[in-house]
Amino acid sequence: MPSPPSTVRAVRLHKHGEPLVVEPVELPAPGDGEVRVELEFGGVNPIDRYLAEGRVNPDGPLPRTPGGEAAGHIGERPVLVAGEGLGTARDGVWAQAAVVPEAAIVELPDGVSTREAAAMGIAGLTALQCVHELARVTSGDRVLVLGASGGVGSMIVSLASAAGATVWGQTGSQAKAALIAEQGAQQVVITGADGLAEAVSSLEPSVVFDSLGGPFVAPVIEALSARGRLVSFGTSAGAQTSFNMQSLYRKMLSVLGYGGMQLAAEERRPGLEATLEALRDGSLRVRIDSVLALDEVNEAFERLAARRVQGNLVLDLS
């Protein structure tokens, strides 16, 4: 059997804030504890754009291949590739093939496609950790998901619904309401920050999942029921906020933050395995908005920035 080519097409980041380019890259032979993966699909996430802009990990090596999650094959084995500094401390996985640490490999369960698995290493893991590990959602919870049509938010809707909770999803666009309902939300709230507290007053949420931050935090604090939990995993509407601290302590609220880059290896692997199993059994449902060609990577970033995405974006790496 002929050896795979040593030169592959890959997305490259040469300078923070400049457009990404696709160019030939010479892959090294795998070293100790490494393996070559033939890649098929790669997930695109807001964190990838922040890394490319230098807003996160500005001291990472340049030039490098971005991409923190992808799926492909090692021989006949379908695998997910994620973690271990991919796309941050070392070359990532937006390429036709990559040499990665063996610790970054998780085999896919039967029935899970590489196309859907490509969105599990970051977005899927975030959704599962937020729902099951941080908020510990149960059938007795009343859940509000802000930004519920997003890559993570839409998966949180499905996971919370599968847990038996009452789930409402928020969006600022009527065009995105159908997707949120399809993911399992019993009600879709179409509102911005100004109308949020009134729109969800009848729900009295016990858990709120927030990818927006900024002006949405204060009304959420007011809307939460006593002993409620606010889980924050993004700030697409703004990183700075202010709210009434008396409401926080008088209602005994909990504010929980999730940052995937803080997960230790002993947390990440079982988390990824659980995420893939949830995808296999249907409790986690992923909506792939578009599959874009490798050369359309900058278009993917533009869509994310303009919020022109429902669900997840995936790059065709093959």
Q: How far apart are CA 71 and CA 12, in angstroms?
A: 19
pLDDT tier at 308, thresholds 50, 70, 90: very high
Do 225 and 207 meet the contact criterion of CB atoms below 8 Å apart?
no
Tokens matching residue 10: 């890959």
Q: Which parts of the chain fold into alpha helices (H)?
A: 46-53, 114-117, 125-128, 151-162, 177-182, 196-199, 217-223, 245-250, 265-281, 297-305
Tokens matching residue 126: 């975030």
Element (H or E) spanning 87, and its range?
none
Calculate the CA 272 to chain-centre distance. Answer: 12
Q: pLDDT for 36-59, tens place per residue? A: 999 999 999 999 999 999 999 999
- Locus of tokens 């100004």: 194
Residue from 171, 160, 105, 113 nearest 132 by CA: 160
Q: How far apart are CA 270 and CA 182, in angstroms?
A: 28
Q: How far apart are CA 102 and CA 237, in angstroms?
A: 37
Q: Which fold, 124-260?
A: Rossmann fold (3.40.50)
Tokens matching residue 152: 């993570």
Q: How far apart are CA 73 and CA 88, in angstroms?
A: 22
Do 46 and 234 meet the contact criterion of CB atoms below 8 Å apart?
yes
Do 228 and 208 meet the contact criterion of CB atoms below 8 Å apart?
yes
Q: pLDDT for 232-267, tens place per residue? A: 999 999 999 999 999 999 999 999 999 998 998 889
SS3 state of residue 292: strand
Crossing angle (nearest 10°) for helices 297-305 and 46-53 = 110
Ranking 22-26, 186-190, 285-289, 306-310 by mean pLDDT, the lowest is 306-310
Answer left, alpha or beta for residue 190, where phi above 0 means left and psi between -120 and 50 means alpha.
Answer: beta
Q: What are phi and psi of 84, to 5 degrees?
A: 60, 30
Domain locations in the chain?
7-119+286-316, 124-260
pLDDT tier at 275, thresholds 50, 70, 90: very high
Residue 54 CB neighbours (<10 A): 15
Q: How far apart are CA 262 and CA 260, in angstroms?
A: 5
Q: pLDDT for 151-182, tens place per residue? A: 999 999 999 999 999 999 999 999 999 999 99
Q: Which CATH code is given to the segment(s) 7-119+286-316?
A: 3.90.180.10
- Give the mean pLDDT of 282-296: 97
Whether residue 220 is predicted with pLDDT greater than 60 in this model: the reply is: yes
Show Cβ contacts of residue 270 under 8 Å, excluding neighbours closer than 6 positions. none
Residue 89 CB neighbours (<10 A): 13
Do 312 and 156 meet the contact criterion of CB atoms below 8 Å apart?
no
